[in-house]
Amino acid sequence: MFRGRGSMTPLGSIAGAVLAATPWRLERRLEVDAKRAALTRIGGAVGAMVVVGILLLLTGRNAFWIFWQALDAIFGRQRGIEGVALRAIPILMTALGVALSLRMKVWNIGSDGQFLMGALAAVGVGIHMGGPGWLVLIVMAVAATLAGAAWMLVPALARAYWDVNEIITTLLLNFVALQLVTWSALGFWRDKEAAVIQSTREVAHTLPGLPGAESVTIALLFPLVIAAALWWVFRSTTIGYEIDTIGGNARAAGFAGVAVRRRILVVMLFTGAIAGLGGMLQLSAPGAQAMNAGFSAQFGLSGFIVAALAGASFWGVIGGGVFIASMFYAGIVLQTKGLSVYIIFAIYGAILTGIALGEIAARYRMVRRRADAGAEAPGPPGASEPSEAWGPSAPAAAAEVLEAGS
Amino acid sequence: MSWSEVHALVGENGAGKTTLCNILAGIYRADAGRVIVDGAERDFRSPAHAIDAGIGMVHQHFRLVEPMTVAENIHLGWPETPGVVSQRALNERAERFMGEMGLHVDPTARIWQLSVGEQQRVEILRVLARGARVLILDEPTAVLTAQEAEELFAVVRELAAGGLSVIFITHKLREVLAVSDRLTVLRHGVREITRPTEGATAGEIARLMTGEERVLHVEHRTVTGDPALEVRGVSALNDRGITALHDLDLTVRSGEIVGIAGVSGNGQTELAEVISALRGLESGSITVDGAEVASLSVRAVTDLGVGHIPEDRIGMGMVASAPVKDNAVLHSYWTPQFSRGLALNRQSVIDFAKRLVAEARVQTRSVFATAGQLSGGNQQRLVARREALVADRLLVAAHPTRGLDVNAAQEVRSTILDKRDSGCAVLLISDDLDEVLLMSDRIAVIYEGRIMGVFDAADADRERIGLLMGGHSITGAVA
């Protein structure tokens, strides 16, 4: 009677129903090891591309040519690789912030806003401060980091001390940040010489380029260093242990004497700070030194998707962020080759859905039904199974949001 | 049961009272046996079947929609509710129905505005509105103030006088005697007796509830010397903001086990939490080795050598989603054994966890497996052993063997006895009176947040303790 089904994802139920007609059934794994989880995600993406390819062929398009163009655009030339890197930096920065908060089961949906406020602070410093370029850039970075954290301050205080849902507060502040950016571009920091696009004045300094690169600066190192630092914190420090404990069971953390509310506050501010710094990095790239309303191409949203699909693993974020940046870059190239933007969006959606399905698939295995259990309804063991309280539920929920949205 | 009868169902926690009633109300299905209503055997496959047969249950936790009005809640899901209806008509219908039943609550009030007693009345009205002729009340007084409880008794008597049958689940002896016509005592899922309430004594019921003493023997000691734990005049609130501990005094000396006997929900949880600094005090003082707990952080209290096996092991004592190794150091990861500054020494954590798992005989594939995969007994052994190692001075053990099979329970008990023998003070909280009597050097009885009496193991009398647990003071007056 207590065959709890609440723990099953809708997709799990569907798969279970499909399997009912076969001698196989789905069984939930007790543990999902990282390697399998990564492989099923890659498998999901590849599977989605195969499906997309078949659909393209059926509608009379040359799928092989399209995929070849995409691969060639990315890997065939240095511009492609640099184009991916430029797109990856802001996505990685916002994704790392979100991934950090997810370790604590806090959902920072506001990285777009924090990113914009970081960039805005950097513009403010950059266009007003004199002195040597390196010093201006450092002050810009500090200002952006603080601005990103400050933009998180109210949601963080509200969540930590009054249990106000951070999803709503962080999400809504995105729109406020966007209005502030628009105001700055139209009003107080407007570049009066720019004729066409309403924009702020331009910052005179850019970060030094990477050796051998045409347009990629040392900004690329930031997400890599931050990912490594976060990985180390969670592997080898008591702070990482405490954050994971809060994420796993906040009451147990309190029992262990962790200052839970203060930790939540500080970690949330950090997630904002990382996104804010991302805004400065974006601004200090050659050719991007001014802000307008289109400054953030929803990097925060992409970053959120990356963090959720990566299951809050920091190296997973790096891999996923580079993949999604490649996908977006390929999409732009394919548009120039005459593929409609709608088809490209559909392909994005299919691939993300494939990855999300792969994430879920990693949690199940197929088991041959025993003869005597043949009459039993298929499905994983009941909700009482203790391991189901474990972490993958966060990315799973996100995956379901994604499916609903695409 | 006959009609117009108030039948009390009594027993300790886990005796099967609620399970039995859930079967009657169609929530669980019986594995075997029959339910006969009005001479006809019924098979309830869902609560709807039970309601059709005229059986309705009011649960301990109300199932009301808080933002909606009383009238709306009464009509919610009631087949007789008209399809199209105005707020006023609902109120009038509710008013009329309340008049018929002789139970009154303002129909326009919203649920969240009502006191707990009034909310309970709405629940009863809801059940009656669906034509219930057998009303099951599951520990209805657990959430009520004394005065609200008195009012409820009057309501119950009136309903019975009107021809209804009421099953009244409780473990408070006073209530049994005050409200019921007949009573049934359950113990470990078996009926001990069914008899008219008239002529029954609280002592007899208490003995039937708690059963006879087991023949296991633990050597009890009398310890003198400095107290390790001193609780003086402590009052504290529970999570709902109601006073759970009233001016409570208690002393535990090094090398002795003081057992807290009492029915769950009489302040035991709160007592364990105030001692560990997890809950604040309203007044009074708690000292461990002379250090005032209220002025210390949770961590500082732990560092004094206070271990705590919490009642809710999964909810509070461990992180089910984290590996066994991380759970092994939950209450000590900041100590020099495992960390220096911010750096956590992974290897020492793993080594310690392996040793802990081996010593406590926790069955697990590896220390990297999540703690949630362990069976309940293994989780309990892990937490009990971990806390025993933390506890140099004082071990607070809340229901340490609840849900364990005989062998696992014996292992946990011997862990606790070893702590005592090594000079640690032990506060043992348990709603299993047998366990308290078996383990404790001294026994304190708790009822509604007060210590009703303290006995040396040698003078402990099961019947007297049972009476005190039910709220009867020694002289027979209600405390």
- Of B205, B199, B168, the closest CA to residue B187 belongs to B205
pLDDT tens digits along B105-119: 888 888 888 877 888
**Per mean pLDDT, which range of A366-370, B38-42, B473-477 is the poorest?**
B473-477
On whether both B37 and B110 belong to a single domain, the answer is: yes
Give me the pLDDT at residue B347, please.
93
Closest approach of chain B CAs to the CA of A245, in angstroms? 7
Q: How far apart are CA B86 and CA B108, in angstroms?
A: 13
**B246 pLDDT more than 80:** yes
Mean pLDDT along residues A18-22: 69
> Would you place residue B205 in the very low, low, confident or very high pLDDT band (cuts 50, 70, 90)?
confident
Q: How far apart are CA B392 and CA B306, in angstroms?
A: 7
**Per mean pLDDT, which range of A236-240, A392-396, B193-197 is the poorest?**
A392-396
Domain that holds residue B52: 6-210
Q: Is the residue at B38 inside a domain?
A: yes
Q: Which fold has domain A62-338?
A: ABC transporter involved in vitamin B12 uptake, BtuC (1.10.3470)
* Percent with pLDDT over 70 in chain B: 95
Mean pLDDT along residues B43-60: 82
Give me the pLDDT at residue B219, please.
78
Q: Please report the DSSP string for A317-376 in residue order.
A: HHHHHHHHHHHHHHHHHHHHTT--HHHHHHHHHHHHHHHHHHHHHTTEEEEEPPGGGTTS
Closest approach of chain A CAs to the CA of B143, in angstroms? 24
Mean pLDDT along residues A51-79: 88
Q: How far apart are CA B105 and CA A57, in angstroms?
A: 70
Give me the pLDDT at residue B251, please.
93
pLDDT tens digits along B369-414: 889 888 777 888 899 999 999 999 999 999 888 766 666 777 888 8
**A397 pLDDT more than 60:** no
Give me the pLDDT at residue A373, please.
39
On whether both B188 and B285 belong to a single domain, the answer is: no
Mean pLDDT along residues A182-202: 75
Give me the pLDDT at residue A1, please.
33
Closest approach of chain A CAs to the CA of B91, in angstroms? 35
On whether both B312 and B372 belong to a single domain, the answer is: yes
Closest approach of chain B CAs to the CA of A387, in angstroms? 5
Hey, which residues does B37 pair with through a beta bridge? B40
On whether both B187 and B241 belong to a single domain, the answer is: no
Mean pLDDT along residues A350-379: 70
Give me the pLDDT at residue B409, please.
76
**A153 pLDDT more than 80:** yes
On whether both B292 and B317 belong to a single domain, the answer is: yes
**B475 pLDDT more than 60:** no
Give me the pLDDT at residue B262, please.
86
CB contact under 8 A, B321 and A235: no
Residues of chain A with C-beta less than 8 angstroms from the C-beta of B314: 386
On whether both B299 and B174 belong to a single domain, the answer is: no
**A140 pLDDT more than 80:** yes
pLDDT tens digits along B135-181: 999 888 876 766 778 888 988 888 888 888 999 988 777 788 888 89
Question: What mean pLDDT value characterizes chain B?
Answer: 85
Q: Is the residue at B220 inside a domain?
A: no
On whether both B333 and B202 belong to a single domain, the answer is: no
Residues of chain B with C-beta less than 8 angstroms from the C-beta of A257: 297-299, 302, 331, 334
Q: How far apart are CA A318 and CA A362, in angstroms?
A: 20
Asked if A6 is an interface residue toward chain B (Cβ–Cβ < 8 A), one would say no
Mean pLDDT along residues A166-171: 92
**B365 pLDDT more than 90:** no
Q: Is the residue at B474 inside a domain?
A: no
On whether both B264 and B175 belong to a single domain, the answer is: no
CB contact under 8 A, B342 and A239: yes
Count structural domains, chain B. 2
Give me the pLDDT at residue A391, please.
35
**Per mean pLDDT, which range of A390-399, B110-119, B252-261 is the poorest?**
A390-399
Cβ-in-10-Å burial (0-12, 13-18, 19+) of A45 comes to: buried
Enumerate the domain spans of chain A: 62-338
Among A30, A104, A239, A241, most B C-beta atoms within 10 A, so best to mutate, is A241
Structure tokens at B258: 């003081």
CATH number (domain holding residue B465): 3.40.50.300
Among B299, B316, B321, most A C-beta atoms within 10 A, so best to mutate, is B321
Q: Is the residue at B1 inside a domain?
A: no
Mean pLDDT along residues A23-28: 72
Q: Is the residue at B216 inside a domain?
A: no
Q: For residue B317, which phi and psi values (nearest 5 degrees)?
A: -85, -10
* Percent with pLDDT over 70 in chain A: 83
On whether both B234 and B366 belong to a single domain, the answer is: yes
**A388 pLDDT more than 90:** no
Where would I find the beta strands (DSSP E) of B310-393? 339-340, 343-344
Residues in B whose CB is inside 8 Å of some CB of A read 28-29, 276, 278, 297-299, 302, 308, 310, 314-322, 326, 330-331, 333-334, 339, 342-344, 346, 369-370, 372-374
> Would you place residue B350 in the very low, low, confident or very high pLDDT band (cuts 50, 70, 90)?
very high
